[in-house]
């Protein structure tokens, strides 16, 4: 919510992207910076590199918030919808495993993915 408020405020004075396409370019840039930061942290396990990972994740979230703002989508509401959708789909997986008398630790990631795709088709 704070990122949305900040970006709305600065956009009012003209500090903004002209289009969502420009923000998507920034999104790709931030994803690459996050990948580089993650790799550096994997190599070093240094706290300073972990701080950089956190900063890059924050930059990524900030950019996504700007995409939402440009598309006139309230980011907090969009995230809540995504959370509900995730919970519904995960509940589907739990239900199907229960019906099959199976446990998560007895199910491969590929089988879980198959159930996830089933949930997407039905929910």
| Mean pLDDT confidence for 31-48 | 97
- Tell me how far apart the alpha carbons of residues 38 and 53 are, in angstroms, rounded to a whole number: 6
| Mean pLDDT confidence for 10-26 | 94
Residue by residue, what is the 3-state secondary structure of 73-96? CCHHHHHHHHHHHHHHHHHHHHHH
Q: Is the predicted pLDDT of residue 123 greater than 80, yes or no?
A: no
**Residue 3 confidence class, pLDDT cut points 50, 70, 90:** very high
| Mean pLDDT confidence for 32-51 | 96
**Residue 51 confidence class, pLDDT cut points 50, 70, 90:** very high
State the pLDDT at residue 86: 97
Cα pseudo-dihedral 29, 33, 34, 39, rounded to 10: 140
Question: Whole-prediction pTM value?
Answer: 0.84
Mean pLDDT of the chain: 96
């Amino acid at each position: 919510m704070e990122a949305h408020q900040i970006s709305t405020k600065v956009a009012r004075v003209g500090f903004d992207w002209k289009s969502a396409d420009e923000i998507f370019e920034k999104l790709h840039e931030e994803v690459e910076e996050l990948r580089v930061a993650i790799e550096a942290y994997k190599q070093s396990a240094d706290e300073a590199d972990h701080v950089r990972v956190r900063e890059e994740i924050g930059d990524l979230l900030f950019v996504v918030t700007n995409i939402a703002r440009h598309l006139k989508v309230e980011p907090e509401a969009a995230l809540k919808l995504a959370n509900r959708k995730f919970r519904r789909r995960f509940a589907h997986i739990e239900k199907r495993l229960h019906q099959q008398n199976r446990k998560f630790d007895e199910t491969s990631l590929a089988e879980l993915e198959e159930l996830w795709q089933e949930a997407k088709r039905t929910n």
